[in-house]
Structure 1
């Protein structure tokens, strides 16, 4: 009798433990894909007609599309800082693309290629709290593949000191101005590639025919960095399939220069026909087929996203993997990109002063989708969100604590179809391209331009519900609102630690 009772207890204990194991929540894998200079209107699900993005479009069918999502800044490094730290540009340590020119000839591409002391951007201090550190503490294996830009190779600001177990890619944004570089970095090691040194802005040779493909051979060599990075990203997923992982895939595509393996653009060459070659002005390489190449670069990114999704599916991880796809800022206006042809910023205003580098909608409103089959329903959200919301969102997702000083709000409730707390307003500042500040409060958008260049403190005001192009400045009609925006801009701006980012007209 006693033996039977003990046997029954053991059987019940077995099934109880098995049931508990089955009910134990599994932390989702997180893949955050950050395109580089991908415009709001450059993907199919946003209305793009000339560039094919079938994989991104298909992914958008499996989750939530955000129509009011913003980058944290209008250029690379500060946008990435806001993303990783959850701090907006009024509080961020990094507020611009600072090359730390006090080190020497940092803008000499050849010298920086040879000397790591000249490579890289201003570094985040190693003690900075980051989203990746939070995920490490939560039990995640963390990796970044792509472009870093937040700390030079020989400084404390390398990815491995800021929450990443693994890094492969460009440390330096300037070196990323060649997609066939001489080297990349793997963790702390410089990895040499099978490419000759070709300095950005290298022109066609004397006597080269701009309509002869052979004239462009030196710009298309052996090791194409986006392909190498993609292989490492796929390996990272494979190697960490049995534990929770966070992959920050910071692709250099479609940031110029216009470079891609010839076979990847043949379809667009056939479709677009003959083009006026781009001669390589403004520090970028010449290209025989600029439109076909640019379209192919975006389609290349799309194909890689499709391969990542297929990999997740093949490993049986799709229902336990959240994939986020967005862009670091608006599209470029240099390097041979015909932003008018592609309507890159649609439905916002295109071109210099309105896209990358500026705080108007075309410079900071970016495409974003979040896919998690079985957890996030197919939907479109008009919730107003921003890069500094990602940190608290992922913290809530994995059950981690959030630092009190973060500027963001989790939008996980929005993703889960629950009641969502909203921002009173969003804030940006940017000390470059003249010096700028901006605030969005509901449908109102306030912008200051030329704060540094002209000591200007006048505020422009736009009603985005009626004026999405931000062309009708109605500040004179709303003095009470202008006063409110002045108060917000004064409150949210803290004097930067780094003097390079200071704006004297704001009291710095």
Structure 2
């Protein structure tokens, strides 16, 4: 005789089979699959040139981790910084607007305003924990641009640009959001003996450890290889021989002025670039250790082109081919000032060994990450376009086929440039001097050596109209220059 329990189970199974046969179960709601949001890591070097990475042709400086990241993912050959200098480049990244529309269009300690909603604020609305480590530069203490007011759950680093100039500061800012936010200055381990970027990397790795159970956005904003080429003996030694001499001798010692002195500036530059590469390797290793690598999108880039200060000159740029095949350096409107490395890796999504020449810029990352995070936000007046199709299928966004990319710069007078397709226009305005306009075809002349303005009047006129239409007059008086 069957037990009552067995009889009950058999009856239930019989009823389920009847309902299934009648198709009735199809109308019973099913639980939606859980959407797993990707972790996001954005690593940005400070003044790293387009040609400073092995994957972009560098032969003297070793960058094995970045080269492997490029082999594992998608390498952008036409990726652009937001500006040719620091602050406006970072503002473009955070706001999704180029310097023709953004609030901060040049260097200076100008904070973001309350109405400037930026990337981490959008991501926090989607459940992300946000952490920034390194150089901020968009709001000093007691301003509307303080990190905790702009969506950062955790921040450790430098608020002011000049603070970030020095590699052994001995002290950094620490911010934590909350009902009673923490806003304090803390000593780095070892005080003056602590290399700032090592300390910052340690805090970033701790952030990953602490937030491994939920989606996070990590912004690692390094302060190298910016102009102070001062580092530890251990880091420097990889480009020295057994007697402590530079492998790039003869060197031109730099006595130091604003930035600290360096007897071997070429060796030091190479060493800190390789140290950046170490940090990239450490972050990838931490993600793999925690089982997070597959579902983490990592992007690596620079805030602008390489520099010629702090003991480094144009001969050094040429020695390392830091700008690669490009003309210009930091503060130039030529490609070497704004075109930078861009490497994306996302093992679950991006196929290895991909390359794209589609022209993109750091202001594209706000709409890209809004889409990837599932955000319903539709910010108006963005200049960026989502790169999700590029990341997932290596297909250029259809809506951006004929897009324009724009930059302006408010030092040494006023300068602008705009790219559309293969064409690029550059304009220089100086008070009391005739305006100078140049035109280049980047497909034929990547090094911008052949000015076509005198021979292509129709194209010059078309591009001039696009250049004039690309901007609105700045609302901040610091960025109203030479009548613009």
Give the alignment's TM-score, normalised by structure 2: 0.88
**Distance apart, 1:434 and its partner CA:** 2.2
Partner secondary structure for residue 133 of structure 2: strand
**Distance apart, 1:455 and its partner CA:** 5.6
Match of 1:308 in 2: 283
Residues in 1 aligned to 2:210 and 2:263: alpha-carbon distance in whole angstroms:
40
**Distance apart, 1:284 and its partner CA:** 2.0
**1:39-438 counterparts in 2 under 5 A?**
39-98=49-108, 121-187=109-175, 188-193=183-188, 221-270=192-241, 272=247, 274-281=249-256, 283-337=258-312, 338-349=316-327, 354-378=328-352, 379-400=354-375, 401-417=377-393, 418=395, 420-421=397-398, 422=400, 423-438=402-417
Question: Match for 2:425 among 426, 446, 450?
Answer: 446
**Distance apart, 1:6 and its partner CA:** 5.3
Can you give the 5+ residue segments of structure 1 that lack an aligned partner in the other structure? 99-120, 197-220
Can you give the 5+ residue segments of structure 2 that lack an aligned partner in the other structure? 1-6, 21-27, 176-182
**Distance apart, 1:466 and its partner CA:** 1.5
**Distance apart, 1:505 and its partner CA:** 3.0
Is the CA contact (8 Å cut-off) linking 1:277 and 1:286 kept in structure 2?
no
**Distance apart, 1:467 and its partner CA:** 1.4
Aligned length: 449
Residues in 2 aligned to 1:8 and 1:83: alpha-carbon distance in whole angstroms:
60
**Distance apart, 1:39 and its partner CA:** 0.3
**Distance apart, 1:274 and its partner CA:** 4.4
Structure 1's 477 and 164: CA in aligned 2 closer, same or farther, altered over 3 A? same
Is the CA contact (8 Å cut-off) linking 1:448 and 1:459 kept in structure 2?
yes
**Distance apart, 1:256 and its partner CA:** 1.9
Residues in 2 aligned to 1:142 and 1:195: alpha-carbon distance in whole angstroms:
27
Residues in 2 aligned to 1:129 and 1:300: alpha-carbon distance in whole angstroms:
33
Residues in 1 aligned to 2:480 and 2:14: alpha-carbon distance in whole angstroms:
73
**Distance apart, 1:503 and its partner CA:** 2.3
Match of 2:48 in 1: 38
Residues in 2 aligned to 1:357 and 1:389: alpha-carbon distance in whole angstroms:
22
Partner secondary structure for residue 193 of structure 2: coil
Question: Could you list the per-position Cα deviations for residues 137-176 of structure 1 after superposition, in whole angstroms to 9, with x for gaps in the alignment?
Answer: 1110001101000011121111111111110001111112
Structure 1's 126 and 370: CA in aligned 2 closer, same or farther, altered over 3 A? same
**Distance apart, 1:194 and its partner CA:** 6.6
Question: Could you list the per-position Cα deviations for residues 394-442 of structure 1 after superposition, in whole angstroms to 9, with x for gaps in the alignment?
Answer: 1111121331211111111011114522242111111123211101011
Match of 1:218 in 2: none
Is the CA contact (8 Å cut-off) linking 2:130 and 2:153 kept in structure 1?
yes
Question: Could you list the per-position Cα deviations for residues 256-281 of structure 1 after superposition, in whole angstroms to 9, with x for gaps in the alignment?
Answer: 20111101121211170644352335
Larger mean CA deviation between 149-158 and 361-370 belongs to 149-158
Residues in 2 aligned to 1:190 and 1:413: alpha-carbon distance in whole angstroms:
42
Question: Could you list the per-position Cα deviations for residues 111-140 of structure 1 after superposition, in whole angstroms to 9, with x for gaps in the alignment?
Answer: xxxxxxxxxx21001331111111111110
Larger mean CA deviation between 37-46 and 492-501 belongs to 492-501
Is the CA contact (8 Å cut-off) linking 1:282 and 1:334 kept in structure 2?
no
Residues in 2 aligned to 1:489 and 1:433: alpha-carbon distance in whole angstroms:
19
Give the alignment's TM-score, normalised by structure 1: 0.84
Residues in 2 aligned to 1:490 and 1:499: alpha-carbon distance in whole angstroms:
19
Structure 1's 419 and 439: CA in aligned 2 closer, same or farther, altered over 3 A? closer
